[in-house]
Amino acid sequence: MMKIIHAYHDGKLSREEVAVVSEFPLKLIVNGRELATLIASPHDLRFLVAGFLRVNGFVRSVTDFQMLSVCSDMSTANVRVKGEIPEKLKPVLTSGCGTGITFTLPGSDMPDRSFFPENRKVLPADLFSLMEELARRAEQYRSHGGIHSAAVGEGGKILFYAEDLGRHNTVDRLAGEALLREVDLAGKSLVTSGRISSEMVAKAANLGIAVLASRTSPTDMAVRLAEEQGIMMVGYLRGGKFFVYSHPELLDCAVVDS
């Protein structure tokens, strides 16, 4: 949204019109039970809802949904899924902008990643291409800040793109769109504009992501979890350089020991 504000410069205040990030609370009701209130950007909320339920283990495929209805006017998502929702759920607050909620602790109930082919390799050029394309698509992020962007790609080409005020929400949105479009994300690369935290790695692992890369840094817990889950963690991917924090053997390039 646009808002008139006062900007200070050279000892004076002047009126300016600027864009302000929209923050939208969405009450999530699953099988008649209020599960959580998601704080997010207001667009494509069905992807956010589907992805949130996917990465928290409430659904596995699009056929698990019996109803998925989002009413923006009422700030409510009504969902009916197959099976029962566990009676006792322990919510965990996620870190970062637009603090969210998860019901899956990082490192718990991780999938068996042995199905990945042993000879899988990622070209550095493909990672640079994905990050450059992410930056080109992030018009809202460049216009007023406060918005995180992320994308899933393969072979240097973006398959799905998402943006949200919460970086954890961008992963949920990607998971949700892939789920509803019935696209398997196993072995794909995920690039993000923001810091990589442990809950993002946990979500990526649940999706079968092979590479998780950022323009900035991962946390220490994120690196440890990526190492455990066989994910190549890449940070500071910009300016023709990057750091590999875990599983460098997945990168298709020569290794020089100094």
* Paired tokens of 45: 């909320």
Q: Which of 58-67, 104-113, 193-202 ranks highest by mean pLDDT?
A: 58-67
Phi, psi angles (nearest 5°) of residue 158: -75, 130
Nearest of 249, 214, 212, 233 to residue 120 by alpha carbon: 249
- Which pLDDT tens digit goes with each residue over 127-170? 999 999 999 988 655 555 678 899 999 999 999 999 998 888 99
CATH topology of domain 124-250: Cytidine Deaminase; domain 2 (3.40.140)
Instruction: Say which range, 3-7, 230-234, 245-249, has the weakest mean pLDDT.
Output: 3-7
Lowest mean pLDDT among 68-77, 101-110, 198-207: 101-110
Q: Please state which CATH class domain 24-102 belongs to.
A: alpha beta
Model pLDDT for residues 50-74, shown as the tens digit of each residue: 999 999 889 999 999 999 999 989 9
Is the distance from CB of 213 to CB of 127 less than 8 angstroms?
yes
Q: Name 11's Cβ contacts closer than 8 Å, sequence gap at least 6.
A: none
Sign for the pseudo-dihedral over CA of 22, 80, 84, 48: negative
Q: Kindly tell me if the per-residue pLDDT of 217 is higher than 60.
A: yes
Active site members: 97
| pLDDT, averaged across the chain | 86
Q: Could you give the angle at which helices 45-55 and 167-180 cross, rounded to 10 degrees? A: 90
- Please give the model's pTM, rounded to 2 decimal places: 0.86
- Residue spans of beta strands (DSSP E) within 133-188: 148-154, 157-164
Domain ranges in the chain are 24-102, 124-250
pLDDT-wise least confident of 83-92, 117-126, 184-193, 205-214: 83-92
